[in-house]
Structure 1
Amino acid sequence: MLRWVLIFLVVAVIAAVLGFGGIAGAAAGIAEIIFYIFIILFAVSLIIGLLGGKRRR
């Protein structure tokens, strides 16, 4: 998922450099949304792993 954030971020930067403001804004917005989803899923999996994880020996 983090790969998609980086792809959309690169697309946004390239579009901004070339002067395509609408495309750059849309790509940056998509990258931001996916990044927040990634952070939320990471935090949830971290909490579940800490609270409910069974240890194997």
Structure 2
Amino acid sequence: MFRWAIIFAVIALIASLFGFGGVAGLSKDFAIILLVIAAILALVGFLSRGKV
């Protein structure tokens, strides 16, 4: 999931360079959402690993 967040961040950077503001903003939002979800899942995975 971190990979997808990085891909969307790169798409946002490239789109902003070419002047596609809507695509850049949407890609940025997807990258942030995926990064937060991946961080939460990683944290839950690390915490639950010690309890099993």
| Structure 2 partner of 1:38 | 38
| Structure 2 partner of 1:24 | 24
Secondary structure of 1:19's aligned partner: coil
- Unaligned runs of 5+ residues in structure 2 are none
Normalised by the length of structure 1, the TM-score is 0.87
Bigger radius of gyration among the two? 1
Between the aligned partners of 2:35 and 2:6, the Cα distance in structure 1 is 9
Deviation at 1:3, TM superposition (A): 0.7
RMSD: 0.6
| Identity within the alignment, % | 40
Q: Would you say how many aligned residue pairs link Structure 1 and Structure 2?
A: 52
Normalised by the length of structure 2, the TM-score is 0.95
